[in-house]
Chains A and B, each alone.
Chain A
């Protein structure tokens, strides 16, 4: 064997190890949902069962947590989409020097640790007598989720041809109408994508939510508490359902995106 082939062989091994590193934990967690053992594991296998799925289904606390997460996610999208879009539009109309300063301020929440966002929000709102709860979770999460929306809308705006607006104006449309009938439809894919991302970010957030949750228990807090206070494979069953949902969602999104790309190859 030449050194080159040994090197290549070693690299293939490394690739396989990397893929195993990525997926073994998720696989073990998912498979453990079907094991009869009371503590979630795969060794020893004590018999195949679906009982943990029905246990999860019957868990009222889980449904309540899911409901809380869903309400928060919807509210986050309702706030983050308009504000993020407005931020992108304001930023793109600023002049160069003002723009780079405003940009730094506007992406700063992304460079702030999540716990700090939660803490500072909690402190500020205590001054006006608002404690942790759904409202504060929404406020704290949107603080940084707006940044993601802004970045995605800006990326799309860069490919916008301003002459379309001018043409519409020349044909007698009002500025409001141009925005509604020309710019908004153009931004639609970016808005849909950032809406999806916002939901994902909101539902999966833990670091920020932990500090502003008050007496609410969103899904991530519910799972983390279970791990510490009494983990059963019912949590794995829930994990498997969430994983399946996210993977299906991601694939559907990717398929939709590709279809979009082939439909308008020029934009």
Chain B
């Protein structure tokens, strides 16, 4: 604090400090505290707010725990997000390894550009692209029927569509951290392992993956979090049978009209995400400072 004033002088330092404090207090801290308060209170008509019935309780959370459909959707969202992270990892790992260890500088430059371009395009448009591709009478079904792999069109919309769209949407968040991690692995280590007779599988299991652990953890954490909090992909690529927890939250706010219950649901999602993030980082012994790069 004294350094700040010493370096920039009273006027500037005060401006900097107040900007940061306003941000943290009014935009980061206060909204979350207010959300917690909302989640603990019952949904009452305006006249009764502050009245005898307006007491804090865990009722809104218990409602989620006891309401079978919502609980099932919540649990499904968790494991489906984990599945998205796992699938994205499987898809990205070979590419990341190739980019970091095998590609020539020219190939690497092209590869990086090809990977990054789709991610400059916004998530709604990318999801729209999948919506068109997976349509019942769309190109994918037409091609599959054309090569006579299937007789009748497949209804992709639903769990399959959501999964495909999400893996697609979060590839970059998985690929870049793993690529960065593997890139720092000395090529001679892989060669040494091979010279000593290790199989390809063994090289990856004992040399590459342990080295890339931090990158893999970072990628998984981000993918999981983005998937669990996603609204576009389930809304556009899903079906009534594949509802996502964020859609339930949205309904409490804009259709059910019960903001308190919606706040409790949102808070549950937030706590779950933070718990998964912190647990994964601890297991992989990654520092928070290294994550947000």
Q: A42-B139, A86-B20, A112-B270 are in contact. Are A250 and B116 (CB under 8 A)?
A: yes
Minimum CB–CB distance for B239 against chain A, Å? 13
A175: contacting residue among B8, B120, B122, CB under 8 A? B8
Q: How far is the CA of A147 from the CA of B23 in the complex (A)?
A: 10
A170 interfacial contact with B, CB 8 Å: no
Q: A41-B137, A223-B124, A242-B121 are in contact. Are A86 and B15 (CB under 8 A)?
A: yes
Which residues, 10 to 43 on A, are CB-close (under 8 Å) to B?
11, 14-15, 18-19, 21-26, 28-29, 32, 39-43
Q: How far is the CA of A207 from the CA of B259 in the complex (A)?
A: 17
Which residues, 38 to 74 on B, are CB-close (under 8 Å) to A?
38
Interface residues on A, range: 35 or more
Q: Give B249's nearest chain A residue, CB to CB.
A: A115
Contact A43 B28 (CB under 8 A): no
Q: How far is the CA of A220 from the CA of B30 in the complex (A)?
A: 27
A134 interfacial contact with B, CB 8 Å: no
B95: contacting residue among A15, A126, A142, A228, CB under 8 A? A15
Q: Which residues of A lie under 8 Å from residue B293 when comparing CB positions?
A: 151
Q: A25-B168, A206-B124 are in contact. Are A115 and B246 (CB under 8 A)?
A: yes
Q: How far is the CA of A115 from the CA of B244 in the complex (A)?
A: 12
B213 interfacial contact with A, CB 8 Å: no
B1-12 vs A, Cβ < 8 Å mask (1 yes, 0 no): 101100111011
Q: Which residues of A lie under 8 Å from residue B229 when comparing CB positions?
A: 113-116, 207
Q: A39-B135, A223-B128 are in contact. Are A23 and B34 (CB under 8 A)?
A: no
A121: contacting residue among B7, B31, B262, CB under 8 A? B31
Q: Give B34's nearest chain A residue, CB to CB.
A: A124
B17: contacting residue among A90, A127, A175, CB under 8 A? A90
A202-215 vs B, Cβ < 8 Å mask (1 yes, 0 no): 01101100110000
Contact A87 B20 (CB under 8 A): yes
CB-defined A-B contacts under 8 Å, sample of 22: A15-B98, A22-B171, A41-B132, A43-B142, A86-B15, A100-B288, A107-B288, A107-B291, A113-B228, A114-B231, A165-B7, A175-B9, A176-B8, A206-B231, A207-B231, A211-B250, A220-B122, A223-B128, A239-B129, A243-B121, A246-B121, A249-B120
| B contact set with A: CB distance below 8 Å | 1, 3-4, 7-9, 11-12, 15-17, 19-20, 22-24, 27-28, 30-32, 34-35, 38, 91, 94-95, 98, 114-118, 120-126, 128-133, 135, 137-139, 142-143, 168, 171, 200, 225-226, 228-232, 235-236, 246, 249-250, 253, 259, 262-263, 266-267, 269-270, 273-274, 277, 288-289, 291-293
Knowing that A112-B270, A115-B249, A179-B12 touch, tell me 5 more A-B residue pairs with CB under 8 angstroms: A86-B20, A116-B266, A119-B249, A151-B292, A211-B253
